[in-house]
Structure 1
Amino acid sequence: MQMHAAKRVAIIIETVMQKRLTQALSSAGVSGWTILPVLGGSGRSGEWSREGQVGRGTGLVQVVCVVSPDKLDKLLESAFAVVEPQIGIVTVTDCEVLRAERF
């Protein structure tokens, strides 16, 4: 099967910023993403867990999208404008896709 180069972008951000981030992705020409709950982790401030939190307004989500390499810079500019003043992590990895026309 023919594989095509793509970029996988994963952004962890506070749940309350999710809508702003997905709007920024749309404006950058990203046609799709997946949103996953972040249940806990460990970082500079030590370990944390979503356990015991009440409501959707607290916690973190991970927004994952796959784009063609030519869309990456615009995506990162738009996403970073949302993420930079907030708690957040942006990672970019190389990947391959079967149906390049979808990205």
Structure 2
Amino acid sequence: MQTHQRTLLTVICEAVLEHKLEQALEKLGAPGWTISDARGRGGRGVRSAGWDTEGNIRLEIICNRELAQTIADYLHENFYANFAMVCYLSTVEVFRADKF
């Protein structure tokens, strides 16, 4: 089976941002995304996810590199200054290129 190269944008941030991020992704043209709960410790302390909006979420988007960079830039410009957020890009191999 042939694979195709795409970019995975992973965002770990405060759960309170979930709906704002979904709206932004829709507006920016993300083909789809996955959101899951995340727990851990970082520069802003321990995030326990004890309350729905107290914890962290992990947002993953697979798309072309240009769109991933556009989304990452938007998040940086609009959220980094006021919210705990980490973004990183990874190159991934997908089987169904038409999905991404």
Pairwise TM-score range, normalised by the shorter structure: 0.7 to 0.9
Aligned counterpart for 1:66 among listed residues 56, 62, 74: 62
Q: CA RMSD in A?
A: 1.7
* CA distance in structure 1 between the partners assigned to 2:61 and 2:44 by the alignment: 27
* CA distance in structure 1 between the partners assigned to 2:44 and 2:61 by the alignment: 27
Kindly indicate whether residue 41 of structure 2 is the aligned counterpart of residue 42 of structure 1.
Answer: yes
**Shift of residue 70, structure 1, vs aligned partner:** 3.2
TM-score by length of 2: 0.85
* CA distance in structure 2 between the partners assigned to 1:19 and 1:45 by the alignment: 22
Q: 1:17 to 1:45 in 2, by over 3 A?
A: closer
Q: 1:56 to 1:28 in 2, by over 3 A?
A: same
User: Which residue type is aligned with residue 93 of structure 1?
Assistant: S
SS in 2 for 1:32: coil
Query: Who is 2:86 aligned against?
Result: 89
Moved beyond 4 Å, runs of 4+: none
Equivalences, count: 99
**Which consecutive unaligned segments of at least 5 residues does structure 1 have?**
none
Query: Which structure has the larger Rg?
Result: 1
Matches within 5 A, 1:1-103: 1-39=1-39, 41-46=40-45, 48-50=46-48, 53=50, 55-85=51-81, 86-103=83-100
**Which consecutive unaligned segments of at least 5 residues does structure 2 have?**
none
Q: 1:56 to 1:8 in 2, by over 3 A?
A: same
**Shift of residue 12, structure 1, vs aligned partner:** 0.7
TM-score by length of 1: 0.83
**Shift of residue 100, structure 1, vs aligned partner:** 0.9
